[in-house]
Amino acid sequence: MTLTVARVDVDAPYRSDAVAVETPAISWVTEASVPGWTQDAAELELTGDGVQTHVVRGRESVRVRWPFRPLRPREEVQLRVRVTGADGEVSDWSAPRRIVAGFLADGEWQAKTVGIAAPASAAEPAELRRVFALEGDVRRATLYATAVGVYQASINGVDVDDQVLKPGWTPFQARTVHESTDVTGLLAAGENTLAVRLAGAWATERYGFRDEAATVYGDQPRFAAQLLIEYADGRTETIATDADWQSAPGPITASGLYAGEDHDARRTASTWAPVAVVEDVPVPGARVSPFVRRIEELPVVEVITTPSGRTVLDFGQNLVGRLRIRVDGEAGQVVTLRHAEVLEHGELGTRPLRAAAATDRYTLAGGGIEEWEPEFTFHGFRYAEIDGWPGVFDPADVTAVVIHSDMERTGWFDTSHPLVRRLHENVVWGLRGNFLSVPTDCPQRDERLGWTGDIQVFTPTASFLYDVRGFLDSWLRDLAIDQVDGVVPFVVPNVLGPAQPAAAWGDAATVVPWVLHERFDDLETLGRQYDSMKGWTDAIVALSGERRLWEGMFQFGDWLDPDAPPEQPADAKTSADIVATAYVFRSADLTARAATLLGRDDEAPEYARIAEDVRLAFLEAYVSSDGRMTSDAQTAYSLAIVFDIVDPEQRQALGDRLAELTAQGDHRIGTGFVGTPIIADALTRTGHIDVAQRLLTQTENPSWLYPVTMGATTIWERWDSMLPDGTINPGEMTSFNHYALGAIADWLHRTLAGLAPAAPGYARLTIEPHPLDGFDFAEAAHLTPYGEARVRWERSDEGVVVEAQIPANTEADVKLPDGRIQVVGSGRHRWVSATTSARRAAD
């Protein structure tokens, strides 16, 4: 038998050993060759200042509570695990997992916050520095740094890490994040220089729409850091930001997320002046979210000469990042780069960018080949217009650099249907483009905000495709900070004024923590966010009044219903009151479930009672005895079915009407942000998966596949962001990279391919593939907390062949296409279903 502990994990950002808390959760993955393997016990050994051991009895292996002495700041330890199976077989010890305590002790943060002395009126990029001398042999040096803005630090001319746009975006007035970087190897005997490049980015951007746009966090970036040097003889020294630091203008002459970046290579930081000591930032906490990094590079696919004679580069993929150029020319030559997602009638389509210039400029220093990439901005683009290039242009000299939060990829999907395959790839690219420090709505125009409604509907899909637990854990902390009297703002961090309640948007407070528990077995986040869940639920229950109906107030409703006029995206077929009241039930129900899991026995029955009151009020107000709803529209029926509001005896009638409405619409999309993620589930649950299949594979506008036929490489904000004649939708709000409508991918994973969690963290799986007409195969793979799970079905002369891989220490409930039901343990499995529904796509 082969029995291996293949992986040991702790709560640290991906590709990092630094943990943010004294007692991080521990997980491990076991690989076993014997079928049906389960864990009987696990031994944990922690080596550092001595050896500590602990034995876990039973099958627990995911997010196990830290059983050792709490870690001390900067403590380094090694953790290894070995397991014993129910059969008595014992594995070897795992490879050691290095863990570094990346947090500071209470009161240990002593740095002053500094900024640019006598800054200009506009946000001004700058360089900061501090020269210091070492006073002996160094055992270890750790840099703790943060900014209200973005920065990169270097020591003796070498950047301390490969992160970009750090520390990212949080509600700077209340929460900042520090990096913890081991810089021992960058120090030299004698004199050293700690330098910082600093710009405003999120901290100095103007937020809001049209004339209302304004800065929120201040006009200038701020920086704070302390370098802790531990000498070999036991002494320590701290080099912290204070009045002794200096600042100077550098080669970056202007920088903004929306505007882009200007860089004059002829300039160097040389006119140094004392920094200004400014109001301190909130004491930063250690990072829990993944770093933003350069993830991938794409070459130019085509060089286009537009009808007006401009040179435009096509990278073949709508992406988020910036360009890296190699150029040789005379000093003072300016190369200009403009970015956009689409071409409109052959020219760069910049109108959807609104006030975002999305333009970078590089002024050459001259004297040879120069390489440059903007540092403190990013753009959403597929196309870039290039102007001012000296000499003969070679497309090999321009590369698109993809950046986003560096999360581990955990989910994959494939199918024989080429358009659906591309649809899924578009979902993946949409996630990558919008998971950059915070989960944004779009990455290109003058917005890029953490809209709560988008992530509320997309979290299940995101949780399959990437390990987003730490990313969303961090964002949920910000959501709780920005709540006011329980009310969740439209965007987090909130930069759009006082928080106002909106159904399906504010419900991110309850839905996102619940999904993290469902997909990652994350009770810690659920417990920490419980008061936030309660606060939101209490607020909207109060708004629903004695009738328990949330009616007559502002709502986004079923946002971007395809029948809504371009400039009235909330004008949906489904009443906003139905959407609102459905979500009152949803949040009360989830709060009751969370209270039960967390042992809040005094509160769980109360929220369960509230949820039932709302459910009954919803049925009385909006559902007739014959299964019709007052809003005879697909989103209304989908909400009642998927949220389990409707009584079981009425569910089928509602499902039948939903299917009828879908067919009457020629199987084109009739739903917006609220209905689109759940309509396929509503149809499936009520026996109309054939209707869901036709809805999925429709190519006429509006549909999921219409953008694919138009060449889309990400999910669009509107069903018709690009009209069939190649004209951009006339609505002011038009993005070509919005992931919300891509939430259908979760149904592709769970239903078409047939891989879903049946217990938190996939401790138990559901394997239930659905071979749909028009598909020869579909498969999904997911790196669960227990290891890789995989399901594939394929048509053959025998019927439908289903293959599954179940991770060790789990089991699965299997329902085959021919109706057979069974329970299986871990290992590889194969079944053949001789079902009459097995029709090849070519038939």
pLDDT digits (tens, 9 = 90+) for 617-670: 999 999 999 999 999 999 999 999 999 999 999 999 999 999 999 999 999 999
Q: Is the dihedral of CA 404, 409, 411, 414 positive or negative?
A: positive
Task: Compute the radius of gyration of the chain from its Cα atoms.
Answer: 28
* Greatest Cα-to-Cα distance within the chain, rounded to the nearest angstrom: 85
- What gap in Å lies between CA 813 and CA 229, rounded to an integer? 55
Whether residue 366 lies inside any domain: the answer is no
What pLDDT sits at residue 117?
Answer: 79
Tell me, what CATH number does 168's domain have?
Answer: 2.60.120.260
Looking at this protein, which amino acid is placed at residue 802? V
What pLDDT sits at residue 120?
Answer: 60
What pLDDT sits at residue 119?
Answer: 63
Whether residue 529 lies inside any domain: the answer is yes
Q: Are residues 466 and 597 in the same domain?
A: yes
pLDDT at 796 over 80: yes
What pLDDT sits at residue 834?
Answer: 87
What pLDDT sits at residue 842?
Answer: 38
Query: Helix 604-622 crosses helix 530-544 at what angle (to 10 degrees)?
Result: 40
pLDDT at 839 over 80: no
Picking from 790, 781, 457, 485, the residue whose alpha carbon sits closest to that of residue 635 is 457
Out of 254-263, 565-574, 777-786, which region has the weakest mean confidence (pLDDT)? 565-574
**For the segment 95-106, what is each residue's pLDDT rounded down to a tens digit?**
999 999 999 999
- Nearest 5°: phi and psi at 387? -140, 145
Whether residue 307 lies inside any domain: the answer is no
Query: At which of 236, 252, 286 does a domain end?
Result: 286
Tell me, what CATH number does 785's domain have?
Answer: 2.60.420.10
| Cβ–Cβ < 8 Å for 141, 228 | yes
pLDDT at 843 over 80: no
Query: Helix 452-465 crosses helix 508-520 at what angle (to 10 degrees)?
Result: 10
pLDDT at 325 over 80: yes
Average pLDDT over residues 522-538: 98
Report the percent of the chain where pLDDT is more than 90.
96
Q: Please provide the distance, in angstroms rounded to a whole number, between the alpha carbons at the two ends of the chain.
A: 45
Q: Are residues 722 and 813 in the same domain?
A: no
Average pLDDT over residues 678-691: 98
The pLDDT confidence band at residue 123, using thresholds 50, 70 and 90, is confident
Task: Single out the catalytic residue among 127, 179, 261, 447.
Answer: 447
Tell me if residue 621 falls in helix, strand or coil: helix
Picking from 783, 790, 755, the residue whose alpha carbon sits closest to that of residue 769 is 755
Tell me, what CATH number does 670's domain have?
Answer: 1.50.10.10
**For the segment 709-735, what is each residue's pLDDT rounded down to a tens digit?**
999 999 999 999 999 999 999 988 999
Q: Are residues 588 and 539 in the same domain?
A: yes
Query: Helix 452-465 crosses helix 418-434 at what angle (to 10 degrees)?
Result: 120
Name 469's bridge partners.
Answer: none
Q: Are residues 713 and 806 in the same domain?
A: no
Provide the 8-state DSSP code for 40: E
Task: Single out the catalytic residue among 717, 768, 779, 811.
Answer: 717
| Cβ–Cβ < 8 Å for 427, 715 | yes
pLDDT at 840 over 60: no
Q: Are residues 737 and 607 in the same domain?
A: yes
Count the helices and strands in the chain (H runs, E runs). Answer: 14, 43
Tell me if residue 419 falls in helix, strand or coil: helix
Whether residue 476 lies inside any domain: the answer is yes
CB within 8 Å of 99: residues ≥ 6 apart:
10, 12, 17, 19, 24, 71, 76, 77, 78, 79
Q: Which domain holds residue 224?
A: 113-286
H/E stretch holding 537: helix 530-544
Whether residue 817 lies inside any domain: the answer is yes
What pLDDT sits at residue 122?
Answer: 67
Q: Is 717 marked active-site?
A: yes
- What gap in Å lies between CA 493 and CA 508, rounded to an integer? 13
The tokens describing 449, both together, are 């905000």
pLDDT at 173 over 70: yes
- Nearest 5°: phi and psi at 342? -140, 165
Query: At which of 255, 286, 317 does a domain end?
Result: 286
The pLDDT confidence band at residue 15, using thresholds 50, 70 and 90, is very high
Out of 85-94, 210-219, 246-255, 719-728, which region has the weakest mean confidence (pLDDT)? 210-219
Q: Are residues 69 and 155 in the same domain?
A: no
- What gap in Å lies between CA 624 and CA 612, rounded to an integer? 18
Average pLDDT over residues 322-345: 98
What pLDDT sits at residue 753?
Answer: 98
**For the segment 815-838, what is each residue's pLDDT rounded down to a tens digit?**
999 999 999 999 999 999 986 454
On average, the pLDDT of the chain sits at 96
Tell me, what CATH number does 78's domain have?
Answer: 2.60.40.10
The tokens describing 805, both together, are 């891989």
What pLDDT sits at residue 680?
Answer: 98
Q: Are residues 575 and 679 in the same domain?
A: yes
Whether residue 319 lies inside any domain: the answer is no
CB within 8 Å of 31: residues ≥ 6 apart:
2, 3, 4, 6, 787, 808
Picking from 18, 24, 20, the residue whose alpha carbon sits closest to that of residue 181 is 18
Whether residue 620 lies inside any domain: the answer is yes
Q: Are residues 628 and 743 in the same domain?
A: yes
The tokens describing 738, both together, are 């919005």
Q: Are residues 139 and 279 in the same domain?
A: yes
What pLDDT sits at residue 841?
Answer: 44
Q: What's the domain count of the chain? A: 4
Q: Are residues 64 and 152 in the same domain?
A: no
Average pLDDT over residues 733-742: 96
Q: Are residues 783 and 723 in the same domain?
A: no
- What gap in Å lies between CA 397 and CA 837, rounded to an integer? 53
What pLDDT sits at residue 713?
Answer: 98
| Cβ–Cβ < 8 Å for 1, 35 | no
Average pLDDT over residues 271-283: 94
Query: At which of 723, 750, 777 does a domain end?
Result: 750
CB within 8 Å of 444: residues ≥ 6 apart:
339, 340, 341, 352, 353, 356, 358, 379, 380, 381, 735, 736, 737
What pLDDT sits at residue 447?
Answer: 96
| Cβ–Cβ < 8 Å for 728, 351 | yes
Whether residue 361 lies inside any domain: the answer is no
Q: Are residues 161 and 281 in the same domain?
A: yes
- Residue by residue, DSSP assigns 113-128 as EEE-SS--SS---EEE
- 3-state secondary structure labels for all residues of 291-307: CEEEEEEEECCEEEECC
Q: Is the dihedral of CA 641, 646, 648, 654 positive or negative?
A: negative
What pLDDT sits at residue 838?
Answer: 41
What pLDDT sits at residue 566?
Answer: 84
- What gap in Å lies between CA 5 and CA 615, rounded to an integer? 47
